[in-house]
Amino acid sequence: MAADPLSLIRANGRVPCHVAVIMDGNGRWASKRGLPRHAGHWEGMKAVREAVEGACAAGVEILTLFAFSTENWKRPQSEIDALMQLLCAYAESEHEDLAGHGVEVRVLGEISRLGSEARAAVDLIEDATRDGAVLRLNLMVSYGGREEIVRAAGRLAERVRDGRIDPEAIDEDMVERMLFTRGLPDPDLLIRTSGELRISNFLLWQMAYTEFHIASVLWPDFTRKDLFAAILDYQRRDRRFGRVATR
């Protein structure tokens, strides 16, 4: 009998510390069923649960989900409203369970652009899960990789202008400290669902050496088995970070 994927993952040993996910295909999932797009987003919330539980079971330490991009603000207002309601519903329905499982949730991005209800949901889920030590779950909301880098450049420029730093002293660590993900290791593995082969302005700085896994499944159909398959795929990769192979 074939070994179950979790045992294989454990036997292989090298579990990715940080997994990032572009949760794509909600709209297609809905239109295939003749449903409105928001139905796909709601169904996508179940897949978020699968990903979180699977990450905890596999020993992933950080899970970063792309929930709403800066570009998503250009979608029809009805879809933006549905996504914001989803964030509120997720915070309301999941915060206790997440806290109980030791998940610390942080919502990262230009949160100031959110309405008051969504901001209250962010406070609720972050406050309730503050002590989580099993998994750090980053929900990237109103987030864009380019905007994040521009913001970092602006903050560094301010410090130079105020005489607080010497431009010669600016290095990669200093830029990293200006990012929403400051202090976190870069993602080891990126999973994108729905078969698309794009980075879509996600974690542009952080994914310099991330391994990519493209899953054909649409996000609402994503289960922990798909996560485990991605981790097993990752465990077969030879990561060289621009250097030559050492084995």
User: Which residues form the catalytic set?
Assistant: 24, 72
Q: Rounded CA gap, 29 and 218, in Å? A: 6
> Which tokens is 177 given?
């400290």
Which residues is 61 bridged to in the sheet?
none
Measured over the CA atoms of residue 91, residue 97, residue 98 and residue 102, the dihedral's sign is positive
> Which tokens is 8 given?
């294989």
Which residue's CB atom is positioned nearest to ligand FPP? 27
**Which CB sits closer to ligand FPP, 69 or 210?**
69
State the nearest-atom distance from the C-beta of 83 to ligand FPP, in Å: 6
Q: Rounded CA gap, 160 and 167, in Å? A: 6
User: Under the rule (CB under 6 A), what is the footprint of ligand FPP?
Assistant: 23-28, 41, 44-45, 48, 65, 67, 72, 83, 86-87, 90, 139, 219
State the nearest-atom distance from the C-beta of 55 to ligand FPP, in Å: 13
Burial class (CB in 10 A: 0-12, 13-18, 19+), 216: exposed
**Which CB sits closer to ligand FPP, 86 or 152?**
86
**Which CB sits closer to ligand FPP, 38 or 213?**
38
State the nearest-atom distance from the C-beta of 28 to ligand FPP, in Å: 3
State the nearest-atom distance from the C-beta of 218 to ligand FPP, in Å: 7
State the nearest-atom distance from the C-beta of 17 to ligand FPP, in Å: 21
**Which CB sits closer to ligand FPP, 45 or 58?**
45
**Which CB sits closer to ligand FPP, 86 or 128?**
86
Residues 6 or more apart whose CB falls under 8 angstroms from that of 36 comprise 30
